[in-house]
Amino acid sequence: MLNLMSNPRLDDAARLAEYARFRAFFDGDQWSSRPQRGEHRLTVNYARTLVRKVASYVFGGPLRYDVLPSGADDRIASRAERELAAVIRANNLDALDASLCITASVLGDAAMKITWDIANRQPAVVAVDPAGLSVDTAPGMPHRIQRLFHTYAMTADQIAPTFAVDLPGIRMGNEATVSEIWTDAYWEVQIDGVIVREEPNPFGWIPYVLVANNPRTDSIWGESDLVDLIAICREINSRMTVLSRVLEFSGAPIAVLENVEGADAIQVGPGAMWEIPEGSKAYLLDLLQGGGVGLHIEYINLLYRSLHDLSETPRTAFGDSGRALSGAALEVEIQPLVQKVRRKRQTWGGVHRERNRRLLDLLERFGGVDIGGLRETETIWPSVLPSDIDSSVRNAVSLVGSGIQSRRTAWASLGGTDPEAELVRIREEASAE
């Protein structure tokens, strides 16, 4: 039995520890030491802001999926696209993708499970915590999963309807550890170490899709975007806290007395009068003299610049370019972010192909939808930056006119949800004139 929660395998222990560290940092636990009694600290959570900002650029608008005909009739491909779009709407997958993009950027990994919902007679897609997953990969092929383990907790009243079993040893309301083991050939379920189901895999494929952020060549697991940001974020928090204290003390100045035995009658405030012995001195400590605050601010600005460089997210991405820019000039200035978004979209393109292949297979095999065995899709992404629709239309017309692109593909690239039906209507209008 595998139980990642209580007894992780050695090769998973480090990964799970990193998940916990990155999750805590993202949630605001960004100081490496505990505060002293009465100590005031600032936490400027740029880590969370930057991760969310990048995710909003990756999924900056509705996606379209082009089902590749693969020699089949275009009408069948259009039917497959409509059915796939309906499943995506029913499962709210646009929102799920954006959420999983944030999870993968923080932890380095995200995952989803695709199964058939018998009650609603449609595919179901849910997010899965990657901390509950472990995999065995094929020898010499680190990205091909041979066996997947999924471990999580369920209460007794949840277990009975989910797996159609009733374990008398588990009291109602108490939690039990559930372990699912999947291969392409079989499916096994263990509850607190007891095998309750062991049967052939009803799907013929492992119903999980992993999202590896910054994918590695030698591992199926990814890398967090926070790896390079933790040190710089901690330094920004530290310097901002120091500057805050300096300004706080300057607003409530420190009185310095020399050659004075007692200070009980000395009070600092507007109109205060002091009487001190002859030969004594009294003055207010000015922490702002000598340009010290300016040095702090310069250093903080340097940290901010380093933060934006390391995160590949220029300040322009926050709408603060300081000047009006044309579309081309804006793209040049924000190019680091554009390149980062394109890298992430390449990863997500593969994720969508795997997910959509499973969804189409479920629709045809379990839902009875005739889609001619079509399984392959391509994701049509919106522009990373605001674009001129007139320019996009002209480009599409030029590509179609030169024979480089089909009308169907051009219509889909412009946001059309049913290219085949629209082309039929165009032909009908043309023949009626």
| Mean pLDDT in consecutive groups of 10 residues from the start of the chain, 433 residues | 46 91 96 85 94 95 88 84 94 96 97 94 96 93 94 83 68 79 95 89 96 93 96 94 76 60 59 60 56 79 93 84 62 87 96 97 94 92 71 75 77 66 72 69
Q: Alpha-carbon distance 406 to 420, whole Å?
A: 12
- Work out whether strand 194-200 and strand 186-191 pair parallel, antiparallel, or are unpaired: antiparallel
169 found inside a domain: no
Residue 12 has a CB neighbour count (10 Å cut-off) of 17
Task: Answer for the pair 208, 215: CB distance below 8 angstroms, yes or no.
Answer: no
- Work out whether strand 141-155 and strand 133-138 pair parallel, antiparallel, or are unpaired: antiparallel
Q: Alpha-carbon distance 49 to 311, whole Å?
A: 11
Task: For residue 249, give its domain range.
Answer: 230-313
423 is written with which tokens? 């082309």
pLDDT the model gives residue 94: 94
308 found inside a domain: yes
pLDDT the model gives residue 283: 54
Instruction: Point out the domain boundary residue: 313, 344, 369.
Output: 313
Domains in the chain, number: 2
DSSP E strand boundaries for 244-364: 254-258, 281-285
144 found inside a domain: no
pLDDT the model gives residue 386: 65
pLDDT the model gives residue 6: 42
Q: Alpha-carbon distance 239 to 302, whole Å?
A: 11
State how far Cα 130 lies from the chain centre: 13
Task: Answer for the pair 61, 387: CB distance below 8 angstroms, yes or no.
Answer: no
180 is written with which tokens? 């699912």
Contacting residues for 108 by C-beta, under 8 A, at least 6 apart: 18, 19, 22, 212, 213, 214, 221, 222, 223, 224
pLDDT the model gives residue 8: 47
75 found inside a domain: no
276 is written with which tokens? 């001190």
Task: Answer for the pair 17, 129: CB distance below 8 angstroms, yes or no.
Answer: no
Task: Answer for the pair 370, 364: CB distance below 8 angstroms, yes or no.
Answer: yes
Residue in the block written with tokens 């804006």: 330
411 is written with which tokens? 């219509």
Residue in the block written with tokens 């207010």: 284
Q: Alpha-carbon distance 164 to 158, whole Å?
A: 10
pLDDT the model gives residue 347: 96
25 is written with which tokens? 């940092």
pLDDT the model gives residue 20: 96
251 found inside a domain: yes
15 found inside a domain: no
Instruction: Point out the domain boundary residue: 280, 313, 346.
Output: 313
Q: Alpha-carbon distance 311 to 30, whole Å?
A: 17
pLDDT the model gives residue 293: 72
Instruction: Point out the domain boundary residue: 313, 328, 357.
Output: 313
pLDDT the model gives residue 4: 45
Task: Answer for the pair 216, 298: CB distance below 8 angstroms, yes or no.
Answer: no
Q: Alpha-carbon distance 125 to 351, whole Å?
A: 13
